[in-house]
Amino acid sequence: MRIMDYAILLKNCYAHQQETPLPKLVRWNALGGIGMILNVDGSSIGNPGPLGYGGLIRNAYGAWVHGFFGNLGVTDILHAKLMAINNGLLLAWELNITDLWCYSDSVTTIKLLNEPVDEWHHYATIITNIRIF
């Protein structure tokens, strides 16, 4: 490749740069007096891969009440998200919390909990346990 060809190629690489999007400020919103709030999430390095989960319970004004976390070894992210909800609900039960809102960023997990699930589903037992609450 000639130097001039390289220069043109380099120029064209930067000619159509898209603007960097502005950061979007995000914050947690309290319910303002309507029950306790359970926020949960799971995280993995790969899917499947080593993963963990955790969550926290806040009161309706946003004050921290209790938190939890766990490690499941190597599995898939859906398992982590379901275990976060399951263990968060268990913690709420142990703390005698009866008015609880649960938030998860996983549409797949929420759909799985709200729709009929085959009894042979890999996570049917966990899903059933969550539904009992």
CATH number at residue 123: 3.30.420.10
pTM here is 0.76
Domain containing 60 equals 22-132
> Is 111 part of any domain?
yes
Domain tally, the chain: 1
Residue 38 lies in a domain: yes
3-state helix/strand/coil string of the chain:
CCHHHHHHHHHHHHHCCCCCCCCCCCCCCCCCCCCEEEEEEEEECCCCEEEEEEEEEECCCCCEEEEEEEEEEEECHHHHHHHHHHHHHHHHHHCCCCCEEEECCCHHHHHHHHCCCCCCCCCHHHHHHHHHC
Q: Which of 17-21, 74-78, 98-102, 115-119 has the lowest mean pLDDT?
A: 17-21
pLDDT at 64 over 90: yes
Q: What is the mean pLDDT of residues 22-34?
A: 71
